Structure 1
Amino acid sequence: MITLSNGGAYLLHGTQIIPESEAAKLKELTGRDVSKEEGRRGTIAYSILQKHNVSPDMEHLQIKFDAMASHDITFVGIIQTARASGMEKFPLPYVLTNCHNSLCAVGGTINEDDHLFGLSAAKKYGGIYVPPHIAVIHQYMREKMAGCGKMILGSDSHTRYGALGTMAMGEGGGELVKQLLCDTYDVAYPGVVGVYLTGRPNPGVGPHDIAIAIVGAVFKNGYVKNKVMEFVGPGVASMGTDYRNSVDVMTTETTCLSSIWRTDDDTKAYLTQHGRPEDYKELNPADVAYYDGMVTVDLSTIKPMIALPFHPSNAFEIDAFNENAADILRDAEKRAQELIGSRDIPFSLTDKVIDGKLHVQQGVIAGCAGGNYVNVMAAAHILKNASCGNDIFTLDVYPSSQPVNMDLVRKGAVADLMAAGAVVKTAFCGPCFGAGDTPANNTLSIRHTTRNFPNREGSKPGQDQFAAVALMDARSIAATAANGGVLTSAEAYADDYEVPAYDYDDSSYAVRVYNGFGKAEPEADLIYGPNIKDWPKMEALADDILLKVCSKIMDAVTTTDELIPSGETSSFRSNPLGLAEFTLSRRDPEYVGRSKAVRALEEARTAGQCPAQADAALKDIYAQIQAHFPQASMKTTEIGSMIYCTRPGDGSAREQAASCQRVLGGLANICSEYATKRYRSNVINWGMLPFQMKETPSFEVGDYIFIPSIRTALDGDMQHIKAYIVGKEWQEIELFISPMTDTEKEIVKAGCLINFNRNR
């Protein structure tokens, strides 16, 4: 059972929850007055943030991190940006893993070119380089870098090491560039929500079941959005640290800012086993801690779960789902049809229910969520002496690191999985973002991975392909495999099995990982492949701007996967203009052409030509503008493209969701609200204006919006920005921008973070 408090709550001695409405009880129980401010300082999160804040103001944090991590579809762009901004060496440990573009089977040399660039950068600037197939990014960071009281920043949204006492955050590349330039991560002090755990998981219930249940309870209502989730309570001790890690990584899907857990002897044992006993310290809330909300979870009530397409929050208990499968799947089919739109792509889910049972076509256990030792061992136990069968159903297993894989081999788990018909592969994130195990058209895959967003499994609706993913725990995936692909709860196979103790052996790291931190070689050359390109020039923000609406998406949420697809685009992440060709390709395929046309107008203007010569309609547009603003000039009004989404940016931290718009001439986003802080930060770091509006937009694709004196507006409170739809009629609308730091304002004025740093 999961309950959410209505308002804040105090935690007394780590064991007693007192609703804020009953705060008077605190004096009776403690014998003294306890203020909310004192309680705020009593959280684990507060102490860690305070330690890393270089500002004297705890309400406006300026954070410096202990370490950073990137993978091979983000580190090239980050390093290129930092180089262009004047970076000479990595000032903190920076881990470059190669777990996304690991496969070098398609696209010519470009993936391995990125890997060589990463190795050469680690040598030149003093970084840590983890070769392909050795470890997925988050498993390596757990094993080698995370520690109690630390903070780590990563360019992947699932940068979460809270179960090891580390507050970790996933952000776009611009925020990592700031750390490389010895600048700070600036953020208002976040709310902290307690997650109070009691009981213990039942046999057959895995960490993904707990995570999916929590995501289902808090995502849609925004209960923890941009807040820190702090896991406390006696139930923490009922789970081993490896198990906790798999719960923790999924906190990203709640849209929280970060996570942190109380630590104990099991945390100490984990860090000691991984050769870092000095990184342990006990973390617990103070005797009185105040939380902005409280999520209470009785672990003993959690059942095996399934998160249906197309979001991890679309959560159901497997048994309850099986009782009403056809009715529940019809809703998922409706959502699929909305995504497919007018295209004639046959896709169905209800036809996979045969004799009242759902038949799935593929299973995958992989990555930072599923590939952990405890998950694969539990799956292997269920499949020992069982069979996946020789029909359509397949099962692929990706251990999360080479050390994990080595111990799975020694324990016999790999042999048991293979004997059952599963295919065991190397550490790789592909199944999580659409670059591995893409299922057949019109099929359903069940996966212990982090996301099941539309087309994230790799299908391409623009080419008449559509498949779907449901998320499940490795245990229930194994149970389904043992049942020939018929959806089955792991409770059907539950027994008294306990996963044997893990034996960590990092010899593969010792011989393959390059650790150059503190040993930069400035004279070393960077190795470039032909696909690695510099960022194009970007203009500073003008006083007056004219936006052309190039896409309008009214979906409740627009994910970063829809803004810039994952999967097949990953090989182009080092080529800004090449990657930009895929922008919104799964959601609005005409966007790129529209935005390029607008960019051509701005290029004509900056070259001293009249934009109206390229687009005759602009002559009438400017005539209307000058009728109301006589001082406005076609020569000095910057022209850019704009997208409207109701709630953009749920999902990945990838900065390319914003940078691709920018290199195509994007100048602004307008939305009702931003789904995540990280996407809004990406918009800002790439020099675009992060507008919001309260009303339903009356403009349409093709309309122009004129915004005068925008630089002046940025210097004000930004709450009432007048804008004007210019077309058949002149219509005033009001936009606003949520608070920005002074630095963020200067970045937008400069045109992007690169320009801002060059100007300094």
Structure 2
Amino acid sequence: MKLYQSGAYLINGTEIIPDSQDTRAVLQSKTGSAPAQEEAAKNTIAYRILEDHNTSGNMEKLKIKFDKLTSHDITFVGIIQTARASGLEKFPVPYVLTNCHNSLCAVGGTINEDDHMYGLTCAKKYGGVYVPPHQAVIHQYAREMLAGGGKMILGSDSHTRYGALGTMAMGEGGPELVKQILSQTYDINMPKVVGVYLTGTPMKGVGPQDVALAIIGEVFANGYVNNKVMEFVGPGVANLSVDFRIGVDVMTTETTCLSSIWKTDEKVKEFYEIHGRVEEYEELNPGQVAYYDGMIEIDLSEIKPMIAMPFHPSNTYTIEELNANLLDILDECEKRALTSLGDSVEFSLKDKVKNGKLYVDQGIIAGCAGGGFENIAAAADILRGASIGPDEFTLSVYPASTPIYMELVRDGAIADLMATGSVVKTAFCGPCFGAGDTPSNNAFSIRHTTRNFPNREGSKLQNGQISSVALMDARSIAATAANKGYLTAATDIDVEYTNPKYFFDKTIYQNRIYDSKGAADASVDIKFGPNIKDWPEMSPLGDNMVLKVVSEIHDPVTTTDELIPSGETSSYRSNPLGLAEFTLSRRDPAYVGRAKEVQLAEKARVAGENPGEAFEEIVPVIEKIKKHNSEITSENMCIGSTIFAVKPGDGSAREQAASCQKVLGGWANIANEYATKRYRSNLINWGMLPFLIEKGELPFKNSDYIFIPGIRKAVEKKESELKAYVVGDTMKEFTLKLGELTDDEREIILRGCLINFNKK
């Protein structure tokens, strides 16, 4: 794999010309023209799709309107509740509500089904589509029923990626969907576009997860595609089935790119024909001379079976490399784990070595990445006639949709899998976020799913529980299962793949999916369960700001799962106050208590009472600030909490990572950088300031107070840098940066949150 250190031109989709002093002369000789970068950049597929959806008239400052929206049952209640608070009457574009995350009913309660009924009645009232539990995971349904050539889809799940089908899709926090529901726009600067030039054909036994992990391992740490669009081109695309392309595409989220798009061909057209939507096909290719801001060149024939070790999809090795250097690599992984786990729990991997081989406790093939037809059919081919054995090792398989499940039944693959001792389950995203198949303590799970962050499989550090996940392709997981749990690459076994043809049965959805066809029925009453709560009132930004640092995180990256854990916490997804109790619970259990203490002062201030009587600790802080600036009063300042993290926001698009901080009185985050655009947007949409501070020794520490004078005026005047002070015996000055904000984003912050902005 080669990463170009400069931009590159692509001629006729087949020849790369690196950008250099001689480039234009080379282009002239080969094509008869030598367009400048700015012109050639317009010949990417991504540029043309973005141009078709931009409403600003300025391709440097995009205002995008999407064709369709999609959410699942961790996010759609909060999104619709936010939109309802702003006057929602009808969904202006098709909006699909799937129920694939909280499909299992909570023990002793009705919470999940209450939310599902809320979704069904909202689909009726506002004109949406409702996909009941166990029918399809969100992204498979979108591939089968929503995607279209040249279209754009916005989803409230980070793995909203349908580029392989010619659809530019983006995963964002819920407030960005609220904007679309209210006929507002998605505002971003024109993103850079990185070409991914594929050649060759994957060797037998190599699957899409292997290619995806190889890419992630090369580009995550260096930020090569961060917040950029990945555009897959080159002759190697034709050598991949559409299912294979989809499997690579969905994992581009783990590179931290903004979106993805692929050239399309007859295989993609056949996909749409199989699904009865051939009219949605559009042939997409870059222009004769296209300019890319970066280029990744991949020879697919050189990719080997891969494994992403705990605790990140970028912690990659070839399985061959791991097996050859087993104890050294396991030791290195244990050391890396200390960064995230600290000494809160004992964690080991080397004890998984038995007779010189790595023994695995569990295998999972599931979800939007692993649950595709070809992945499971290939796993069945490998396992046919085998046994997974009666020991610790287990294997669970989740087809991504009921149509896929049914076709695997008809082909006999399900019977072949079940005969081995494997368990085949319904469409459900649980294994991806800790709501299903949680391994035993200190167990090691290999999964063809999307993420392997700490505790994402369901273990709880605060209870002394820890297990870990490695990501692999379904084929090598099946090979390991056939070897009764000993890690095995699929290329190391002899198997004939049957490659059965897929047939889509649309009657399954016709019999079960509620589709309003865009017709809203205002007479429908929404069903509210007792756990569905409105958002609390949120105050506008004060003239001045006092912040207490209530958590300080120095991990290289902080995931959204650490900011607000997934899994069982999702039972409170529709209850903002209830969910907020879990904020940072697996990373900094003291956070909630500290934040609530500070919030007492702000609540008293807003009510016209003395903040010091509600929170005595704030009294000397305010006195010191008044000595520095005598104009400060309770009426002209806001009081809240903040956290510092080096690089927060990798992973899930769930807005709760920000909204829970806001509900607890958070007014800002301070970071060296933000891992993703979507997390920074979540902060802004919840009225929180996304402060940046230069890398180096921090001027403050946990529990310190920070005073930011004139914060409101600074936001109004579009200032990018602000003076801030650590409140102590002296007022130690330092600088915070805000980064670029659109006019609407500034107004959202000034008003306190997106809900307040839309009430204007």
- Shorter-chain TM-score bucket reads over 0.9
Secondary structure at 2:376's aligned position in 1?
helix
Matching residue of 1:149: 150
Are the aligned partners of 2:65 and 2:185 in contact in 1 as well (CA < 8 Å)?
Answer: yes
Secondary structure at 1:244's aligned position in 2?
helix
Q: For 2:65 and 2:222, how far apart are their aligned partners in 1?
A: 31
C-alpha displacement at 1:695, in angstroms? 4.0
Task: Confirm whether residue 422 of structure 1 aligns to residue 405 of structure 2.
Answer: no
| Amino acid across the alignment from 2:755 | I
Matching residue of 1:633: 633
C-alpha displacement at 1:359, in angstroms? 0.3
C-alpha displacement at 1:53, in angstroms? 0.4
Q: For 1:533 and 1:83, how far apart are their aligned partners in 2?
A: 12
Matching residue of 1:9: 8
**Cα deviations across residues 474-526 of structure 1 (Å, max 9, x unaligned)?**
00000000001000000112444241110111211001000013211001100
Q: For 2:57 and 2:341, how far apart are their aligned partners in 1?
A: 51
Matching residue of 1:363: 363
Are the aligned partners of 2:381 and 2:498 in contact in 1 as well (CA < 8 Å)?
Answer: no
| Amino acid across the alignment from 1:13 | N
Q: For 2:108 and 2:290, how far apart are their aligned partners in 1?
A: 53
Q: For 2:635 and 2:57, how far apart are their aligned partners in 1?
A: 45
Task: Confirm whether residue 468 of structure 1 aligns to residue 468 of structure 2.
Answer: yes
Matching residue of 1:376: 376
Task: Confirm whether residue 686 of structure 1 aligns to residue 686 of structure 2.
Answer: yes
Matching residue of 1:478: 478
Secondary structure at 1:512's aligned position in 2?
coil
Matching residue of 2:726: 725
Secondary structure at 1:667's aligned position in 2?
strand
Q: For 2:160 and 2:267, how far apart are their aligned partners in 1?
A: 21
Matching residue of 1:458: 458
Q: For 2:511 and 2:674, how far apart are their aligned partners in 1?
A: 44
Matched ranges for 1:208-287 at <5 A: 208-287=209-288
Q: For 2:187 and 2:413, how far apart are their aligned partners in 1?
A: 45
Task: Confirm whether residue 104 of structure 1 aligns to residue 111 of structure 2.
Answer: no
| Amino acid across the alignment from 1:424 | V
Q: For 1:484 and 1:617, how far apart are their aligned partners in 2?
A: 59
| Amino acid across the alignment from 2:654 | R
Matched ranges for 1:32-431 at <5 A: 32-343=33-344, 345-431=345-431
Are the aligned partners of 1:193 and 1:230 in contact in 2 as well (CA < 8 Å)?
Answer: yes
Matched ranges for 1:489-568 at <5 A: 489-568=489-568
Q: For 2:573 and 2:48, how far apart are their aligned partners in 1?
A: 37
Secondary structure at 1:284's aligned position in 2?
coil
Matching residue of 1:738: 739
Q: For 1:390 and 1:189, how far apart are their aligned partners in 2?
A: 55
Secondary structure at 1:91's aligned position in 2?
coil
Secondary structure at 1:441's aligned position in 2?
coil
Are the aligned partners of 1:203 and 1:494 in contact in 2 as well (CA < 8 Å)?
Answer: no
C-alpha displacement at 1:337, in angstroms? 3.0
Are the aligned partners of 2:106 and 2:571 in contact in 1 as well (CA < 8 Å)?
Answer: no
C-alpha displacement at 1:423, in angstroms? 0.1
Are the aligned partners of 2:628 and 2:731 in contact in 1 as well (CA < 8 Å)?
Answer: no
**Cα deviations across residues 666-724 of structure 1 (Å, max 9, x unaligned)?**
00000000000000000000000010011432211111100011121113443321000
Q: For 1:133 and 1:583, how far apart are their aligned partners in 2?
A: 29
Structure 2: any 5+ residue segments left out of the alignment? none
| Amino acid across the alignment from 2:232 | F
| Amino acid across the alignment from 2:279 | E
Deviates more, 1:169-178 or 1:329-338: 329-338
C-alpha displacement at 1:394, in angstroms? 0.1
Q: For 1:597 and 1:341, how far apart are their aligned partners in 2?
A: 26
Deviates more, 1:39-48 or 1:726-735: 726-735
Q: For 1:232 and 1:304, how far apart are their aligned partners in 2?
A: 22
Task: Confirm whether residue 708 of structure 1 aligns to residue 726 of structure 2.
Answer: no
Matched ranges for 1:562-711 at <5 A: 562-696=562-696, 697-711=698-712
Deviates more, 1:232-241 or 1:714-723: 714-723
Secondary structure at 2:478's aligned position in 1?
helix
**Cα deviations across residues 535-573 of structure 1 (Å, max 9, x unaligned)?**
000000011010010101011000000000011111110
C-alpha displacement at 1:105, in angstroms? 4.4
Are the aligned partners of 2:101 and 2:430 in contact in 1 as well (CA < 8 Å)?
Answer: yes
Q: For 1:87 and 1:482, how far apart are their aligned partners in 2?
A: 53
Q: For 1:105 and 1:567, how far apart are their aligned partners in 2?
A: 11
Q: For 1:695 and 1:254, how far apart are their aligned partners in 2?
A: 22
C-alpha displacement at 1:611, in angstroms? 1.3
C-alpha displacement at 1:28, in angstroms? 1.5
C-alpha displacement at 1:330, in angstroms? 1.1
Secondary structure at 1:386's aligned position in 2?
coil
C-alpha displacement at 1:444, in angstroms? 0.4
Deviates more, 1:99-108 or 1:423-432: 99-108
Q: For 2:207 and 2:343, how far apart are their aligned partners in 1?
A: 40
RMSD: 1.0
Are the aligned partners of 2:601 and 2:618 in contact in 1 as well (CA < 8 Å)?
Answer: no
**With structure 1 as the length reference, what TM-score do the two structures score?**
0.99
| Amino acid across the alignment from 1:257 | L
Are the aligned partners of 1:610 and 1:635 in contact in 2 as well (CA < 8 Å)?
Answer: no
Q: For 1:277 and 1:468, how far apart are their aligned partners in 2?
A: 42
Could you say if the C-alpha distance between residues 494 and 54 of structure 1 is closer, same or farther in structure 2, counting changes exceeding 3 Å?
Answer: farther
Are the aligned partners of 1:718 and 1:738 in contact in 2 as well (CA < 8 Å)?
Answer: no
**With structure 2 as the length reference, what TM-score do the two structures score?**
0.99
Are the aligned partners of 1:196 and 1:231 in contact in 2 as well (CA < 8 Å)?
Answer: yes
Q: For 2:257 and 2:441, how far apart are their aligned partners in 1?
A: 33
C-alpha displacement at 1:351, in angstroms? 0.8
C-alpha displacement at 1:303, in angstroms? 0.2
C-alpha displacement at 1:618, in angstroms? 2.5
Counting aligned pairs with the same residue, the percent is 64
C-alpha displacement at 1:627, in angstroms? 2.0
Are the aligned partners of 1:687 and 1:749 in contact in 2 as well (CA < 8 Å)?
Answer: yes
Are the aligned partners of 1:204 and 1:494 in contact in 2 as well (CA < 8 Å)?
Answer: no
Deviates more, 1:283-292 or 1:13-22: 13-22
| Amino acid across the alignment from 1:243 | F
Q: For 2:573 and 2:32, how far apart are their aligned partners in 1?
A: 59
Q: For 1:613 and 1:114, how far apart are their aligned partners in 2?
A: 40
Structure 1: any 5+ residue segments left out of the alignment? none
| Amino acid across the alignment from 2:327 | A
**Residue-pair matches, total:** 757
Are the aligned partners of 2:164 and 2:246 in contact in 1 as well (CA < 8 Å)?
Answer: yes
Q: For 2:616 and 2:198, how far apart are their aligned partners in 1?
A: 64
Matching residue of 1:20: 19
| Amino acid across the alignment from 2:744 | T
**Cα deviations across residues 582-620 of structure 1 (Å, max 9, x unaligned)?**
000000000000000011110111112211223334232
| Amino acid across the alignment from 2:648 | P
Secondary structure at 2:290's aligned position in 1?
strand
C-alpha displacement at 1:195, in angstroms? 0.1
Q: For 1:561 and 1:471, how far apart are their aligned partners in 2?
A: 17
Q: For 1:615 and 1:131, how far apart are their aligned partners in 2?
A: 47
Q: For 1:189 and 1:104, how far apart are their aligned partners in 2?
A: 43
Are the aligned partners of 2:158 and 2:651 in contact in 1 as well (CA < 8 Å)?
Answer: yes
Are the aligned partners of 1:203 and 1:495 in contact in 2 as well (CA < 8 Å)?
Answer: no
